[in-house]
C-alpha cells in the first residue's frame, strides 16, 4: 500500500478510537471516522505473538486493505488485529475485512 494512505500519528489513532464507529469479527476490528482524505492505520498488539508473527499479520492486512482502496469512502480507518488473526490465512483476513467494510457501509456509491 502506498505511503500516502498510511496513518502514523498517535493522535489520529486515538481520534478514531474515541470518535469513530466500529465493528468487529473474530480476526479483526475496524474503526472509521469521516475525513477529508483516506488514511488507514494498522494495529497489531504484542498479544498476537512475536515480531515475525505480528509483521506477517500486518502485511496480510495491509495487502487485503490495498485491494479495497479504490472502492472505499474517504476518512480515517484503523484496523486492529485480534488473537485469531495469527492463525488465519490471507483469504480469511480478506473476507473478514470485506465483511466489516460492508457491514459499516463504507463502500462508495457508484
Looking at the chain, the whole-number percentage of residues with pLDDT higher than 70 is 100
Quick: pLDDT tens for 69-110. Answer: 999 999 999 999 999 999 999 999 999 999 999 999 999 987
| Residue-averaged pLDDT of the chain | 95
Q: Is the whole model's pTM more than 0.85, yes or no?
A: yes
**C-alpha–C-alpha distance, residues 25 and 33, integer Å:** 19
Is the pLDDT at 23 greater than 90? The verdict is: yes
Q: Give the model's confidence band at 1: pLDDT under 50 very low, under 70 low, under 90 confident, else very high.
A: confident
Q: Domain spans of the chain? A: 3-103
Architecture of domain 3-103: 2-Layer Sandwich (3.30)
DSSP code of 91?
H
Please give the pLDDT value at position 109: 83
Helix axes 90-103, 51-68, angle to 10 degrees: 50
At 88 the pLDDT is 95
Q: Kindly write down the DSSP assignment for every residue of 19-61, as one continuous string.
A: H-EEEE-SSEEEEEEE-SS-EEEEE--TTS-SHHHHHHHHHHH
**Counting beta carbons within 10 angstroms of the beta carbon of residue 105, is it exposed (0 to 12), middle (13 to 18) or buried (19 or more)?**
exposed
Amino acid at each position: 500500500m502506498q505511503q500516502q494512505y498510511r496513518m502514523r500519528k498517535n493522535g489520529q489513532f486515538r481520534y478514531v478510537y474515541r470518535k469513530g464507529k466500529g465493528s468487529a469479527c473474530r480476526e479483526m476490528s475496524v474503526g472509521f471516522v469521516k475525513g477529508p482524505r483516506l488514511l488507514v492505520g494498522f494495529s497489531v498488539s504484542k498479544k498476537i505473538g512475536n515480531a515475525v508473527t505480528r509483521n506477517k499479520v500486518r502485511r496480510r492486512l495491509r495487502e487485503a486493505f490495498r485491494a479495497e482502496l479504490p472502492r472505499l469512502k474517504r476518512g480515517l480507518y484503523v484496523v486492529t488485529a485480534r488473537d485469531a488473526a495469527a492463525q488465519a490465512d490471507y483469504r480469511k483476513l480478506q473476507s473478514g475485512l470485506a465483511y466489516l467494510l460492508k457491514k459499516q457501509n463504507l463502500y462508495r456509491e457508484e
